[in-house]
A and B are shown apart, each in its own frame.
Chain A
Amino acid sequence: MSESGTVWSARDTTPSAVEEALRDLLKQRYEAGEHYAPARVLNLVVIADREWRGEIQNRLEKVGRYHASRTIICAVDPGRTEIDAVASVTADEDDIAAGRLVVAREEVVVDVGPDQLAHLDRVVDPLLVSDLATLVWSPHGHDEAVDSLLRLAQIVLIDSISALDVGDAVARAVALMDRAYVVDLAWLRSTPWRERVAATFDPPQWQPELARISAVTVRHQRDSAAAAVLLLGWLARRLGWQPGPICAPDASGHCEGVARGDDGEVRLTLDRDETMPIPGLAGVTIETRSGLAISLDRGPGGLSAWRRTPEGHESRWTVTGASRGESGILGEGIRQALLRDKGYRQALIAAEAMVCS
């Protein structure tokens, strides 16, 4: 999509001036005779280190069709005391050229200093579109800024795999959940795996095997243990297991734990896949006491699936699906901000029992 835009910028400005500039930019568009309608879906507030601002903008550009309608990027610049801002209104040039109704998106980049983070709500408040849901994403930390914005925001976007320690990541998510609806990209990374594990056990002949699961192994990219733990937490919650602590990983990233099900123990294993270049899960293997085993692993065109029945019959197939990539995951996070998934809370509580005790 090529874009056409109108831009305003100012140094040492105020939030009220930025808000007024946005109104003027839209008015200019109307006066130009273009059939503009400002999108009104979601406010997205991003808090990012200024040096990574461009990278964040690039990531947001690539999210595909799930854009927020007004994006406010607060770029944190060490040593800064005043506010600089750039505001723009953009739209798809193809729609303009075709004379179609043009849906416009607004973006504001505000440069702020570290001293303003504890009261960032005072900067952001005038810039939000009233009555729209507001999502906060702070990929570079700055927890004090997130805390200050929780007065305005209903949803917080996090990525639990970005924390150095899985236990810390889960504890932070649990703490946030009491104050806002949390969308965790680590959880969304496990979505296709959850859907496909559920589908694998959906045929009536396989459903009884759910009660006989004896071992689950989740393979994950080096930094993505949180996504793996959330997948185990989901299984534990859905199947009524009582999960126990998972030991600290050894040098190879291997760690184990045990959950108690109604019919016996379930061995839980996390394995690091050093060959996987992108964040997320690499594979999952589930075994049952009657001898059924299934495995799903990343492969060309989807997931490579393998099943061995209790009678020893083996089969392999591909579960089709394209990789969403990191931009697709972020886009999914923005989309999920307007939905409500109770499964995350349940999985997170189960995960807490595994990694926070």
Chain B
Amino acid sequence: MLVEPAVNPLAEGLERLPIRPTTLTIFGATGDLSRRKLLPALYNLAHEGALPERFNLVGSSRSDMPHGDFREMARDAIRQYSRRKPDETVLAALIDHARFVPGSFDDPKVYDEIAKVERELDEDAGIVFNRVFYLSTAPAFFPVIVAKLGEHGLNAKEGAEVRVVIEKPIGTNLAEAQELNREVLDVLDERQAFRIDHYLGKETVQNMLAFRFANGLFEPIWNRNFVDHVQITAAEDIGIGSRAGYYDKAGALRDLVQNHMLQLLTLLCMEPPVSFSADAVRDEKVKVLHAIHPPDPAHVDAMAVRGQYTAGVVGGDRVPGYLDEEGVPSDSTTPTFVALRLEVDNWRWAGVPIYLRTGKRLARKVTEIAVTLKPVPHLAFDEQGSVGVQPNQIILGVQPNEGVTISLGAKIPGSRMRIRPVNMEFLYGTSFMSESPEAYERLITDAMRGDATLFTRNDEVEAQWAICDPILAGWAADGEPVVQYEAGSAGPPEADRLLRPGERWRAI
């Protein structure tokens, strides 16, 4: 049952608002994501006093181990992966009472046991804890676990909030996403479902909203009258590591474009929301996705290029090609690079190409959004002997250089009026001496608090897939070989054909 929040007069003015007492159950608690991200995030929240006043941790996974072994594993994971060295007394306070429920996720006994543990925790405390279930499992188990939660009455609790956090991916195509959403909403209210895209937990991604809507400087030019085109790049210099099993089925479009890159695109293009409530923000993001017309599968070549890396040199080291990576089938056609040209067909953005580019084993790791403005209408300067006047660019750096750069034309010192581009830079590191919290720390507290602003709504996920599905279908049908690019390069030159005459991809 959803409880209307009461007003707590003591909470007003506090920098950190209270979170109601919560029992967090992690399914897949001994897995990689839990050990590397979730447990360290919980520790850092505990260290900073940011967990709920009363907090219980319950782990569940197929590994059969006693409570003590789970606690030891959790302690080891936190010591190994936490962004700060743990204070052993805080670590003990967090972990010493953690409970573990072993078993297969389709085994009803697991849910009976979780219900029993939660009941005991409530009775011991004399209160009813809110429940958060975190699905940190293989995607195949998402519908299984959600259904079992419903069957065992764990999807609702009188006097408490029940929320379910679902990791990505939400399906591997539109039909699967719709099916999963249907299965989730058979059991839960949409307000109880928190679909994670950890990119949204990054400070620099959230800052896009502040940058756009807290500054009068940019909004007047943030439209088709002033913006020439946009490039969104998410380049990685690493290969697929030990993820061949997942990656070869997913490919670059599913891995990064459908979720993270479309999130960046929506934040860049959305209209100002009427408030920063979860639904007001997500309504505006969904409108942007709906304004992107899905391509005709027969004409995908006109707006998409896919590539696969071959052997090459990255950072001075020779690296194998994708087909030689461990676990990759020798005849795989999975794209490790994708470039797209999209258009947001609405009043603000019609006619402005938005280029997306992502890939593995590219020249370096960089995630950025580059907004190129239209050139000045008339140039009175002699360009001889200079680089000349370039259109202004506004570059929002997401990683590794977090900040905003604006390129301007400036006079080269000397007796002649010669111009060259210079950069005006804002870097997070120089203006905020604080360290950004891990995205998972922010997202876990938001889920416990019930704030879904930074989570993906069902219609948002489906709108993302509606754009990507025809591209996948087109590629599946065309029978064309995937183009190749050398590891350590900027990607396949074929990506240039998406650009308009005179445009070029930004250097990676």
Contact = CB atoms under 8 A, between A and B. Distances in A.
Interface of A: 37-41, 65-67, 69, 101, 103, 191-192, 194-205, 207, 210, 235, 238-239, 300-302, 305, 307, 309, 313, 315, 317-322, 335, 339, 341-343
Contact of A195 (B12, B18, B434): B18
Contacts of A205: 127, 159
Given A202-B8, A309-B126, A322-B90, A302 B49 contact: yes
Contacts of B127: 203, 205
A210 B9 contact: yes
Contacts of B432: 41
B49 A192 contact: yes
A205 B9 CA distance: 14
A198 B14 contact: yes
B380 interface: no
Given A103-B429, A300-B89, A302-B93, A313 B9 contact: no
Given A41-B433, A210-B10, A342-B13, A199 B92 contact: no
A15 B9 CA distance: 49
23 contacts: A37-B429, A39-B431, A40-B431, A41-B430, A41-B431, A41-B432, A65-B433, A103-B427, A195-B16, A195-B49, A198-B14, A201-B10, A202-B10, A202-B18, A205-B159, A210-B9, A301-B87, A302-B49, A302-B93, A320-B49, A321-B46, A321-B49, A322-B87
B90 A199 contact: no
A247 B345 CA distance: 71
Nearest to A335: B434
B290 to A, nearest CB: 38
B96 to A, nearest CB: 9
B433 A39 contact: yes
B364 interface: no
B75 to A, nearest CB: 13
Tell me the dominant secondary structure on chain B's binding face: loop
Interface string B15-34: 11011110000000000000
| Chain B interface size range | 35 or more
A195 B126 CA distance: 21
Contact of B430 (A37, A66, A194, A203): A37
A318 B19 contact: no
Given A39-B430, A67-B433, A341-B13, A202 B53 contact: yes
A339 B90 contact: no
Interface string B401-443: 1000000000000000000000001010111111100000000
Given A317-B125, A335-B434, A198 B10 contact: yes
B317 interface: no
B133 to A, nearest CB: 20
Given A194-B14, A202-B11, A238-B9, A320 B90 contact: yes
Nearest to A302: B93
Given A69-B433, A302-B90, A199 B52 contact: yes
A317 B427 contact: no
Given A199-B53, A204-B6, A343-B12, 9 more contacts: A38-B430, A40-B431, A69-B430, A101-B401, A199-B52, A238-B9, A319-B53, A320-B55, A321-B47
Contacts of A194: 10, 14
Max chain A CB contacts within 10 Å: which of B51, B89, B431, B433? Answer: B433
A197 B12 CA distance: 12
B38 to A, nearest CB: 16
B54 interface: yes
A301 B433 CA distance: 27
Max chain B CB contacts within 10 Å: which of A200, A321, A341? Answer: A321
Contact of A319 (B49, B91, B429): B49
A103 B430 contact: yes
A324 B19 CA distance: 21
Interface string B107-136: 000000000000000001111000000000
Nearest to B87: A322
Contacts of A342: 13
A320 B434 contact: no
Interface of B: 3, 6, 8-16, 18-21, 46-49, 51-55, 87, 89-94, 124-127, 159, 401, 425, 427, 429-435
Contacts of A40: 430-431
Nearest to B126: A313
A235 B8 CA distance: 12
Nearest to A103: B429
Contacts of B46: 302, 320-321
A201 B49 contact: no
B427 A101 contact: yes
A309 B11 CA distance: 22
A133 to B, nearest CB: 12
A240 to B, nearest CB: 8
Contacts of A343: 12-14
A207 B127 CA distance: 13
Contacts of B89: 300-302, 322
A199 B50 CA distance: 11
A203 B15 contact: no
A241 B14 CA distance: 19
Given A194-B14, A301-B90, A319-B53, A207 B6 contact: yes
Given A300-B89, A317-B54, A198 B431 contact: no
Nearest to A95: B429
A39 B237 CA distance: 29
A195 B11 CA distance: 8
Given A196-B53, A335-B434, A322 B9 contact: no
A179 B432 CA distance: 26
Contacts of A322: 47-49, 87, 89-90
Contacts of B94: 301, 320
B448 to A, nearest CB: 12
A320 B15 CA distance: 18
A285 to B, nearest CB: 16
Contacts of B19: 199
A238 B10 CA distance: 6
Q: Report the 9 A-B pairs with minimum CB-CB distance, sorted nearest first.
A: A301-B93, A321-B49, A199-B53, A198-B10, A199-B18, A301-B89, A320-B46, A202-B18, A343-B13
Nearest to B48: A321
Contact of A200 (B49, B53, B429, B431): B53
Contacts of B48: 321-322
A321 B10 CA distance: 20
Contacts of A38: 430
Contacts of B3: 204
Contact of B14 (A195, A200, A315, A318): A195
A239 B9 contact: yes
B91 to A, nearest CB: 8
A227 B94 CA distance: 28
Given A39-B430, A69-B433, A301-B90, A320 B51 contact: yes
Contacts of B434: 65-66, 335
Contacts of B429: 37, 39, 101, 103
Nearest to A317: B54
Contact of A315 (B9, B47, B125): B125
A300 B94 CA distance: 11
Contacts of B9: 210, 238-239
Nearest to B94: A320
B101 to A, nearest CB: 21
Contacts of A300: 89, 92-93
Nearest to A314: B126
